[in-house]
Amino acid sequence: MNASIQLSAVEIHHNRALDGKGGGVFLDNAQIDLIEDSTVMISNNQAVTGGGIAATGDHALISFYLGAIGAAATLEDNILVAGGTYGSAIYLAAGADASLIDTSVRLTAGAGFHEAFSAIEIDATGLSSTPSGLMIRRGNFVDESPQNSYSAIRATGVKSSITIEDGLFRGWLRAAWVIDGMFVARGAVFQENGRALYGGALALYGNATATLTSCDFLSNTALYGGAIAAMDTASWSVLATPDHPARFIGNEADTSISNGGAIFHRSSGSGRINDQSSDIGMVEFRDNKTTALPSTAGKNRGGAIFIDAHPAPTLIFRSPLVFEGNRASRQGGAIALERGNLSLEAGLGMKIEFIDNSAREDGGAIVSLGAGSLLINQEAYPHGAVEFNSNIAERFGGSIAMVGPGTMRVQAPAIFSTSLTPITADYGGQIYANVAAVHLATVVFQGWDGHGRGIVIEGASAEYEGGGAYFSGVNATLDWVQFGSALKPNRTFLSGGGNVVASGPGTQVSLRNSSMRFGHNITSGGNGHGLLLRLGATGLVQSVFGTAGTVPHAGEAWPCEAATLGHDRHCSEISDNGDTDTIGSGVYVESSSQLTLQGVSMERNLGSPGALYLESGATASASNVRISAHHDAVKLDANAAMIADHLTIAGNTGIAVELANATGTQLNLANSIIWANSVGVVRGALAVLSPTCNISQDAAYGIVSDPRFVIADRGSYRLGAGSSALDHCAGALVATDLDGSSRPQGAASDAGAFEGTSVMENLFGNGFE
């Protein structure tokens, strides 16, 4: 039978074990109990290990627990003698256990000091066949000593375990340091711990694991991971219950070499937030920061979380989850992803929110730096929204910056918005992706949400270019994305590209079933506020037609069923951009850049020209495009070239098409209508215009015959009965029209962007009456 000691109203103080263990109590396969309704004070004792209590052996147990209803134990100012290192209050080894309820461990301002790893030490590195476990319930662990150099708890070895319920840990160098062991906490508060190198509240090394449920991490500090640091192969999971959130508030990585204001993950192990199927609650990251001005490259990243996971596991963060008011003094106001994969998954009826986060350089909410993947709502189930609101970066990407090779995939619903009036970034007011090694990075936004455009990018302002998004050196595909709204337009301050900019050789941007509207310069002027193609970039704006909801093949867009849209709305739109001082408000194509338009409506873009401007050396092709309600509509500069078919250019109050006077300026125009514009075609004497089967208000470029436009159920500029454009062209150059209707509907293909319809209303003679 093992020896047992029962304590009641006992004080054990000022004892010393100068060469051994247990300055106050030493247990060798023995048990110590605190009996019911009693107290014990163990204080000012000293030893090499276990200044207050040392327990070793598989049967050793400190039991301030069983039957101890109303009992309370206090361990205060127990320290180690010179040269001692382990467990100033309690030392557990070789399978010993401790169960502590209503126990206080304190170091006061007057405590003596010898450098120790911990107040409680669990050493499970030996050959014991049983684990060494520590259970704490309603514990109060406070370090008020000026040295602030102890960890409250340190556990080593795969057989070590720590379980905490409703404890407070305040003022320690760090609250817990776990090497290879298991750490479980529920309802615990970790407050004002810090000054450690890694993990102000919790440091995980080796194969350590941590499960943290409804815990609060408040105002902890460290060089790396103000609250938590995970190293080596360590893993962690943060959970919350419906009635008690998990909170990371005011944690800080506060030197010039710091990363991860709340969490620093440099591990090949996993990191998870709310990764369980039920009974989940809100997890909050608020006002965490890396605040020191950066002096070292690669530091000061991740105001809330820094991730460097290599080899690359996937960290999974699930809703409900909010990042608000986090700050990075360099990159990644909320999250910095250096290596590894991060998956953000919002469940149906819930949200993941990024609100008012900021970075002094890149990625006001998130920065992706390495060769991993940033994945938003990629799992195959109905999703809730991931929302970015009022995030700011002083350089690149107000919400997200991708500045390294890798992948970014976003699935609807996702909202990028702001209520702010100031600049949200220099380049890429919401989204920025720029990779020097061309095509080592892929960006995919898939916005179909079952109803329409479920990704919205609006309300951002860039100092220079790309108010909504800026892409360079990447292959970007954006399906069902809405850029801009009347109340929240995307803007620039000093240059162009209010909505989307693609820049640089090899850059490819495809916008399918998307809209670019209301982009403009905050003052006036600028170019290409719908889409700006620069320095050899390639852009595609395309409508992909079909029955709504039909699941596409991999790499294809969800189809758009135009008949389900509102009056005068289209599957792809570039409208309402710019101001009267803008050039090419809809689309501006710089020299050596290439544009393709397939099934696009361009309306009410201001400036001259309003719809499309091709710089010298630029090229474009266009099919099934409606261009209306501009002043001047289209201009090709010297040595620009364009191939176009099935255009309807009508109702513009200035020049419909202008070709600069240069031999290299070329337009091949087929199966199109140019009608009811103030001026039709203005061609420089040296320019080449090759017309085929057109209806034109200028006899030189087609037959002068009224196309008899009507306003039909789907909108304006459809062909009425008796239109000269009906069955006008023998060969259909494309299979559908701008409404997705098949061509031809009659004996031959109709000219213009729309095939004729059977039900016509409100006939316009000569285009407008």
What is the spatial distance between Cα 545 and Cα 475, in angstroms, rounded to a whole number? 22
Q: From CA 416, how far away is CA 410, in angstroms rounded?
A: 11
How distant, in Å, are the alpha carbons of 475, 508, 752 from that of 293?
Answer: 34, 36, 59
The partner residues of 140 in beta bridges, in order of sequence, read 104, 168
Separation of alpha carbons 496 and 584, rounded Å: 10
Predicted pLDDT of residue 768:
42
Separation of alpha carbons 660 and 638, rounded Å? 5
Spatial distance between the Cα atoms of 425 and 495, rounded to a whole number of angstroms:
13
CA distances from 48 to 16, 280, 601 (A): 9, 45, 81
Residue 13's pLDDT is: 86
Whole-angstrom Cα distance, residue 260 to residue 326? 11
150 near 112, Cβ under 8 Å? no
**Mean pLDDT in consecutive groups of 10 residues from the start of the chain, 769 residues:** 79 82 89 84 86 91 74 83 76 93 86 69 82 92 78 93 96 94 98 91 98 98 96 97 97 86 97 90 97 62 94 88 97 96 95 97 95 90 92 97 94 91 90 83 93 95 96 97 96 94 96 97 89 98 95 92 91 96 96 98 96 98 98 97 98 98 95 97 95 93 94 91 91 87 91 74 43
Question: In which residue are the tokens 């397939």 written?
Answer: 598
Distance CA 685, CA 659 (A): 9
Q: What is the pTM of this model?
A: 0.94
Q: 190 with 216: CB under 8 angstroms?
A: yes
Half-sphere exposure of 532 (CA within 13 A, CB side): 35
SS (H, E, C) 284-345: EEECCEECCCCCCCCCCECCCEEEECCCCCEEEEECCEEEECCEECCECCCEEEEECEEEEE
> What is the number of other CB atoms lying within 10 angstroms of the CB of residue 69?
10
Sign of CA dihedral 38, 41, 47, 48: positive
For residues 363 and 431, give the distance between their C-alpha atoms in angstroms, rounded to a whole number.
8
The two tokens of residue 123 are 């050493």
pLDDT at 110: 66
- Two tokens, residue 366: 């998130």
**Tokens of residue 56, six digits:** 């070793």
Q: How many CA atoms lie within 13 A of 566 on its CB side?
A: 4
Length in residues, the chain: 769
Query: What residue type is 256 in one-letter code?
Result: S
Residue carrying the six token digits 């009456």: 769
Instruction: Give residue 294's pLDDT.
Output: 52
Report the C-alpha dihedral over residues 493, 498, 502, 503, rounded to 10 degrees: -20
What is the residue type of 273?
I
What's residue 769's pLDDT? 36
